[in-house]
């Protein structure tokens, strides 16, 4: 039997980067994959890639900041498959600027997606998971949410906040069989880094003992582990996956 056999797994931001790598990993591990992202064409492509691996996959256009959309996707997923076993709160954005230059729009948008969106999705699945007696919620934090980073006031605040969510929900939902954990990636080679100059990328690599950026698949592997029964006694943890950059 595969590690995530028939586990109904809802993944946000699942059409590119770490999210897509996670959807494909879950597909290979036997999960029923629910792809959620904001662009229809990208969602359709991700679904097709999962199906090509032999998985059952469905896709929804969903903006995590819109609670009505989140509730509708959760309701349709539950209606179709009868349960929701895993939520991967992966969707996230950056809009970087130094404190003195950051606009209110930049601040609000990142908090809305990265923090409020995580709240919406977790709250939307919590009743289902507790009623069925189990589930796994995995939140995407970041090393920036542990150590901070120049020019990322909004992003650091949102990722610190996600750790707070994780610690709190693990206490609230743990007694009902629902595990809540966070993953804190280091710098991963995804489209979110496209705006960063090459010189800065080289500098980032030099700060990592492994001397390279991470690959999306390396985060997906940890998500899959946390979603699986192999992680049945892991709850409230924040797992840093950064190549040792904080050592």
Residues with active-site annotation: 155
Query: Which ranges of 133-247 does DSSP label H, i.e. alpha helix?
Result: 144-147, 153-173, 198-206, 216-227
Enclosing H/E stretch for 152: none
Residue 222 and residue 180 in contact, taking contact as beta carbons nearer than 8 Å: no
**CA-CA distance, 51 to 48, in Å (whole number)?**
5
CB-based burial, 140-171: b 16+ in 10 Å, e otherwise: bbbbbbbeeeeebbbbbbbbbbbbebbeebbe
**CA-CA distance, 227 to 10, in Å (whole number)?**
11
């Amino acid at each position: 039997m595969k590690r995530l056999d028939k586990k109904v797994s809802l993944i946000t931001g699942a059409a590119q980067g770490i999210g897509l790598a996670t959807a494909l990993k879950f597909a290979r591990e036997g999960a029923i994959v629910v792809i959620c992202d904001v662009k229809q064409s990208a969602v359709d492509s991700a679904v097709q890639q999962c199906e090509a691996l032999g998985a059952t996959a469905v896709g929804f256009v969903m903006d995590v900041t819109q609670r009505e959309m989140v509730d509708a996707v959760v309701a349709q997923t539950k209606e179709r498959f009868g349960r929701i076993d895993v939520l991967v709160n992966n969707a996230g954005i950056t809009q970087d600027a130094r404190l003195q230059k950051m606009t209110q729009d930049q601040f609000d948008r990142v908090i809305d997606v990265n923090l409020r969106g995580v709240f919406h999705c977790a709250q939307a699945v919590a009743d289902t998971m507790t009623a069925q007696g189990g589930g796994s919620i995995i939140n995407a934090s970041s090393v920036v949410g542990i150590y901070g980073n120049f020019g990322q006031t909004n992003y650091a605040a949102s990722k610190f906040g996600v750790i707070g969510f994780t610690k709190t929900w693990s206490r609230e939902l743990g007694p009902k069989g629902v595990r809540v954990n966070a993953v804190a990636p280091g710098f991963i080679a995804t489209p979110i880094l496209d705006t960063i100059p090459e010189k800065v990328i080289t500098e980032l690599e030099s700060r990592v003992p492994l001397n390279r950026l991470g690959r999306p698949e390396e985060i997906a592997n940890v998500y899959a582990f946390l979603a699986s029964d192999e992680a049945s006694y892991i709850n409230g943890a924040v797992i840093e996956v950064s190549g040792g950059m904080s050592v």
